[in-house]
Amino acid sequence: MTGIFRGRYTPGFEASEFVPCKADAWFIPTDSLATYPYDAKNAWVTWSTFRNPELKWPPAPKDEYGNPVYYVRWRGTVVGPGRYGHMGVAPFQFFVDSVFELRASRKKDCQ
């Protein structure tokens, strides 16, 4: 599925994930994900070649592992389900091809 998605992105080696806002999430039947021990809505992010140095990474709040948490609005393609990322922690993979918004995450971002 290709489209524009909003949500929270946490970069990091082991804790990296993109969790789309509920209104922008991709959906598949819950029973299809019975073999996935992790959140069924997160995706491992793979960047196209534009990523750096064009993106400006502002200061952002940290998660429990010390990784910054950003709000993003970007375009790309979601693939899955499968096992993607570090040790297969994500059931989806998101290939980013454009970033429209990147800023520090706030509690009410997806409302």
pLDDT digits (tens, 9 = 90+) for 67-110: 999 999 999 998 888 788 878 778 888 899 889 999 999 888 88
Residue of 63 and 28 predicted with greater confidence: 63
Tell me the backbone φ, ψ of residue 109, rounded to 5 degrees.
-55, -40
What pLDDT is attached to residue 51?
Answer: 58
* Calpha distance 111→95 (Å, rounded): 24
30, pLDDT greater than 70: no
Q: Render pLDDT for 38-67 as a digit per residue (tens, 0 to 9).
A: 456 788 888 876 655 577 889 999 988 889
8 A C-beta contact, residue 23 and residue 15: no
Give residue 35's pLDDT band: very low, low, confident or very high (50, 70, 90). Answer: low
* Calpha distance 21→9 (Å, rounded): 11
* Calpha distance 63→111 (Å, rounded): 20
